[in-house]
Amino acid sequence: MDLTSKNIMIMDHPLIKHKISLLRDKNTGTGEFRSLVEEIAMLMAFESLRSLPLEEIEIETPIEKCISPVIEGKKLAVVPILRAGLGMVDGILKLVPTAKVGHIGLCRNEETHLPQEYYCKLPENIDQRDVIVLDPMLATGGSAAAAVDLIKAKGGRSIKFMCIIAAPEGLEVLRKAHPDIEIYVGNLDRCLNSDAYICPGLGDAGDRIFGTK
């Protein structure tokens, strides 16, 4: 797999690595798991939002007036893939509270492993926004590629995908399907197993975030 692509960013920050290890532990309970997913998303946002557009505004400090840069927050849209992507949203919104939020509902068929769409609601003027698609898990890549397809079909052009754990198989599928998007990966794991789960991975992210199993 071509990891030299300039569109693939694999995180190397020790805090992210540490928190991903805690996330993997099968003894980590729902509350802690949820907090970790949110914290990792926030830390990854520092990397992925490096190129956020700024605008200059006038501010009065206790000393004098000055012109100072602020984020053009209205331009950003975050789009979690339901369900597990929801766990990452608040981490991003803590940094950019004015970002708009869309939702894409996709569920993997347990036998075919193919994504089935059940919901899609995106912020208006999606064609004029920087969009970050969120999902903790990039396994076969089917869900991520389908989500980006949906956003592009509605006019989205400037798209990033952020996941906490990726399998090489899924990263390759997404890169080939959408070579124009930036992909941010917390950790690149070894491979998929015969059930298309990531190894070593962290199990079923949605179930662990929402305590459904």
Judged by CB under 6 A, the number of residues near ligand PRP is 22
User: Which residues in 149-208 contact ligand URA (CB under 6 A)?
Assistant: 197-198, 201, 204-206
**Is-contact 182 9, C-beta < 8 A?**
yes
User: Which residues in 132-151 contact ligand PRP (CB under 6 A)?
Assistant: 135, 137-144
User: Which residues in 63-92 contact ligand PRP (CB under 6 A)?
Assistant: 81-84
Buried b (16+ CB within 10 A) or exposed e, 56-83: eeeeeeeeeeeeeeebeeebbbbbbbbb
Q: Which does 197 bind (CB under 5 to 8 A by kind): ligand PRP, ligand URA, none?
A: ligand URA
210 binds ligand URA (CB under 6 A): no
| DSSP H helices in 76-167 | 86-95, 142-153
- With CB under 6 A as the contact rule, the residue among 99, 133, 137, 173 that binds ligand URA is 137
Least spacing, CB of residue 179 vs ligand URA, in Å? 23
- 31 Cβ contact list (under 8 Å, min separation 6): none
Tokens representing 120?
């899609």
How far apart, in whole angstroms, are the C-alpha atoms of residue 81 and residue 72? Answer: 24
Sign of the torsion angle spanned by Cα atoms 199, 202, 205, 208 = positive
206 binds ligand PRP (CB under 6 A): yes
Least spacing, CB of residue 82 vs ligand URA, in Å? 12
* Number of neighbours of residue 49 by Cβ within 10 angstroms: 18
201 binds ligand PRP (CB under 6 A): no
What is the set of active-site residues?
108, 112, 204, 207
Residues that bind ligand PRP (CB under 6 A): 81-84, 106-108, 113, 115, 135, 137-144, 170, 196, 205-206
Q: Which residues bind ligand URA (CB under 6 A)?
A: 84, 137, 139, 197-198, 201, 204-206
